[in-house]
Amino acid sequence: MVSIIIPAHNERENLENLLPKLLFDAKNRQIEVIVVLSNTNSDLSEHIDFGDRVRIIKSSVKGRAAQMNFGECYANSNTLAFLHADVLPPDEFIADIEKTLMDNYDAGFFSYRFDTENWLLKVNASFTAKDGIFTGGGDQCLFIKKNVFNDLGRFDEKQVLMEDFEFFERMKKERIPYKIINNDLIVSARKYNHNSYLRVNLSNLLLVILFKFGYPPEKLKILHNKLLKTPCQKTLN
């Protein structure tokens, strides 16, 4: 079985697109889906009903790291997959996860492409197919054995922006074997709809560099909010 954990804040429209596809593609496989809403979620996502394979719970706090950790507490499988609400999985998503973990890897990520034909974003997405400075971002859907996740200390809830990269740093430090699967997720380009391509890329590069040099998480989040416009109702951290 694979436990798919989806942190969300006012993402009802995206959840209504994601969940049917996820359930249809995994109809012959054992999965459970745990949607973890923030404590300030206000779009009535908790009333979505997709059957007994989807559980919707509400975290006592808002923030991806805290919500994903909370969801892990409810997971019944030793295989965890952390999926963003605005990311659609590819065909063979569950099969790829299961095969990778059976092949003596403890964790993995997926490559992705954006939901647009913009050639610049195609260039961006091409870097997710191999290891590099941006490997480990949340849009790549970390999957990992539950015991390994807990042994590493779970997500650091003090990381209000870079929880995924910080966790990946610990994975590398402990030499956790992982694989990048070249079977593209489809990621929303909505951030680029509110900011220029150059602004997003330069901001992301700056934020990653500052993170790697130990810039305080709260200040990093403040800087992110100054640099990039995001739809306020969709902002999770």
Domain boundaries, the chain: 2-234
Rounded Cα gap, residues 183 and 103, in angstroms: 17
Say how far apart CA 69 and CA 150 lie, in whole Å.
Answer: 10
Q: Read off the DSSP letter of residue 59.
A: -
d(CA 115, CA 96) in angstroms, rounded, equals 21
Cα 189 to the chain's mean position, in Å?
14
CATH of 2-234, one of 3.90.550.10, 1.20.210.10, 3.40.47.10, 2.40.50.100: 3.90.550.10
pTM over 0.85: yes
Task: Write out residues in the chain with pLDDT < 70, as ranges.
Answer: 231-237
Q: What pLDDT, on the 0 to 100 scale, is given for residue 192?
A: 92
- Greatest alpha-carbon span in the chain: 45
